[in-house]
Amino acid sequence: MTKFADLNLNPKVLKAIEEAGYESPTPIQEGAIPAALEGRDVLGIAQTGTGKTASFTLPMITRLARGRARARMPRSLVLCPTRELAAQVAENFDTYAKHVKLTKALLIGGVSFKEQDAAIDRGVDVLIATPGRLLDHFERGKLLLTGIEIMVVDEADRMLDMGFIPDIERIFSLTPFTRQTLFFSATMAPEIERITNTFLSAPERVEIARQATTSENIEQAVVLFKASRKDREATEKRRVLRALIDQEGESVQNAVIFCNRKMDVDIVAKSLKKYGYDAAPIHGDLDQSQRTKTLDGFRDGALKILVASDVAARGLDVPSVSHVFNFDVPGHAEDYVHRIGRTGRAGRDGKAITICSTRDEKLLEAVESLVQKEITRLENPVKVEPRKPRKTAADTDAPKEEKRTRSRKTADKPEKKTEEKVEAAANTNTSTQTEQKPQRGRGGKGRNDRRDDKVVVGMGDHLPSFIALSFAERRAG
């Protein structure tokens, strides 16, 4: 079995590894570290939880141990898609470089520019950043990338999902052509393949597992969920989630619950707290200090359940996560691999349970196609009552029908009365048959005369006598 001592690492780095409790490298570390130490480009493809971070931090520390950084010109650059992952990488450097005099700076959003500018001005050996904040510093004239010796792109497929590829290409163009590039990803989409072909020079390809595979020590299951009514779907789905947590019982030491939308993250966390569960939310809209506090509480065991969006899917490294619950089936099948990769880490067993509503069944099919296995179906722990059919006219009682019939008959009476008036008016003398109220208003019409059931008969009391006489003569004739 290969030992870290066999990989030609710096003795001070080996001492830090030993103090951290590690003895043997993982397959991705065993394949990537020797090539990186030789100065070659590396393309590493491995599922989450396999030790990719140490695959580039250990050789970087060894190579950077000699030399000194200049102000505003970092010697190495590590790009990460999220703040949490960048902070996690920074912690790894602190662990492995504690016996080596290297300086580092962390450039992420939600932190004061002033503090980051001060760190860059002093000169840093290792610069860890998210693409957006890095370009912000560059455009402000606070940073030069012409001194980069080693460049690392971590979780490249996540960069693609978050739309960072144009930024990555621009950053590549700002670094020297002679740099060494270490490129790591869990999956290899066509766009990622294009970038590696463009910016990597004859890389050492280290592929540990089949693309988009999940760890064999993670037990996977799915609950097919159908709401009794559409307007009750969210409420009933949260009830199913609580029932699944209760069903797992004491085996749930801690858990991560993933939702597709930030709004649902807050709602689910609030609902769990209402029912007595120790839960807290984390997503991109929260303040960075709050996100850090929540993650620290989860790592320390002070918080049992973390409700998260995919922003935390790549930046959370807690080896002892026992369960992952997918409140929603992820919109991208690749995200399923990264979500459940939060459990079953470092050789431990884990369990991942997904709730799939009727409208998400196609997304579930895409996940199963990607991981090339059928996920075990579980019975819904909550019995949802079927929706009662609406009453039809045939189901209503007879009295109500009769009442409606009488109403229709009553509604017909005014029209019949109007017809009788018209007929009577045609057979009587217009000079004596009507007694009309004085007409008011414009055009001789009162307010009530505008109703549809009023019929004006004759010409009123002001009929000229010669017209009346002529009309009577015609009737007599």
**Per-residue pLDDT tens over the stretch 285-336:** 788 788 888 988 998 899 999 999 876 556 667 778 999 999 999 988 878 8
- Binned at pLDDT 50, 70 and 90, residue 32 comes out as very high
Q: pLDDT digit string (tens) for 95-141?
A: 999 999 899 999 998 888 999 999 999 999 999 999 999 999 999 99
* Superfamily for the 218-378 domain: P-loop containing nucleotide triphosphate hydrolases (3.40.50.300)
The per-residue pLDDT for 313 is 56
Share of the chain above pLDDT 70, in %: 77
Predicted TM-score (pTM) of the model is 0.65
Contact 323, 353 (CB under 8 A): yes
Domains 4-207 and 218-378 share a fold: yes
Name the residue ranges covered by the structural domains of the chain: 4-207, 218-378, 434-477
Under 8 Å between Cβ of 399 and 244: no
For the 4-207 domain, the top CATH level (class) is alpha beta
Q: What pLDDT is recorded for position 89? A: 92
Q: What whole-number distance in Å separates Cα of residue 409 and Cα of residue 402?
A: 10
pLDDT single digits (tens) 250-289: 999 999 999 999 899 999 999 999 999 999 998 877 887 8
- pLDDT of 435: 45
